[in-house]
Amino acid sequence: MLVVRPAGPADLDSLMELAVLSGRGFTSLPEDEATLLDRLTLSEASFTGAIGPREAWYTLMLEDSDTGRIEGIAGVRAAVGVTRPHFSFRVMTLAQFSSAIGTRFDHQALVLVNECSGWTEVGSLYLRPERRSGGAGSLLARSRYMLIGVERARFSETVMAELRGYFAPDGVCPFWEGVASKFFRLPFEQADHMVMSTDGQFILDLAPRHPIYVELIDQAAHEAIGRVHVEGEAARAMLEHEGFRGSGLIDIFDGGPTYSVPRDAITTIERTSPLALVQGNPVEAPERLVSTASIEGFRATRAKVRIEHDTAMVDAAALDALRLKPGELVRVRQ
């Protein structure tokens, strides 16, 4: 059975393996043990309530309970831009008009902004390639919203997701080569690593302060604006199914789009209810997403659930996966 559970320092080897598999441009999974260990330590403190709600960054592991292997990772960052600005480019239209010649021009431009400060971010969604079917991705992605729904006040009223930008088949990132590298003058891998491993001061120091006219950048970079990495298309479809829409913001390094949605309008949160657990044999019941009703010790899985009045009947295997007992509360997506 696949189970989503909290991540901690003991998961370092598995997380490092996923980081290597994820490849270029997956900023939240750098191939750096020290950075990943810091993240796992922060995750453990977040789930136990050892740090303030706004500083929390919850990392979730998708585990196969039969083999013990970690099949994927996802994360929820309670608030971005708390300790440092969270920069994006906003794609804007700038209008210019000359009465002297009776001519109007509309120019698309990239403007550096810090609009996401305080928003909750869902991200770091990655599965092993062989697990990208059969509902594993949906379970992992939706578990993030189940977590947020447990205690909404811990999270922002706006939830965002940054999708990895487009990379050409040869591994080149057109937006980086055509735009971002002109300002940061670093190899992409080094800048990407520094996003997670430093305080981000280099972004504040070097990012452009003036609008960048899209007409003046090369065609490949232009076409990459807001374009999603080939491995991110499934993630975008799942976001849209949950109510996320494009925000007009893009990543300053790879040009990938930022999606956002009001927290309480997320489909999974809207359709999830707290119910009391009952043990039984719901053979004919449909499979549903079910999770614990607390952040500490949070767990989620898919199981057959029979809903009757204010109760949810599941079998012994589901109870064991959730580490709950009959009579305790669960949250079920209906």
Q: Taking the chain, what is the end-to-end CA distance rounded to the nearest angstrom? A: 20
The amino acid sitting at 137 is: G
CB 302 within 8 A of CB 2: yes
Strand stretches in the chain, DSSP E? 2-6, 57-64, 70-77, 88-98, 103-113, 120-127, 158-162, 212-213, 245-250, 257-262, 272-279, 287-292, 300-304, 306-308, 311-314, 329-333
How far is Cα 186 from Cα 172, in angstroms, rounded to an integer? 14
Cβ atoms within 10 Å, residue 256: 26
Looking at the DSSP bridge assignments, the partners of residue 160 are 121, 260
**How many Cβ atoms from other residues are within 10 Å of residue 207's Cβ?**
16
DSSP 8-state code for residue 217: S
| Encoded amino acid at 299, one letter | R
Q: Catalogue the active-site residues.
A: 229
Contact 93, 211 (CB under 8 A): no
User: Would you say 22 and 29 are in contact if contact means Cβ atoms under 8 Å apart?
Assistant: yes
Measured distance CA(229)–CA(79) in Å, rounded: 25
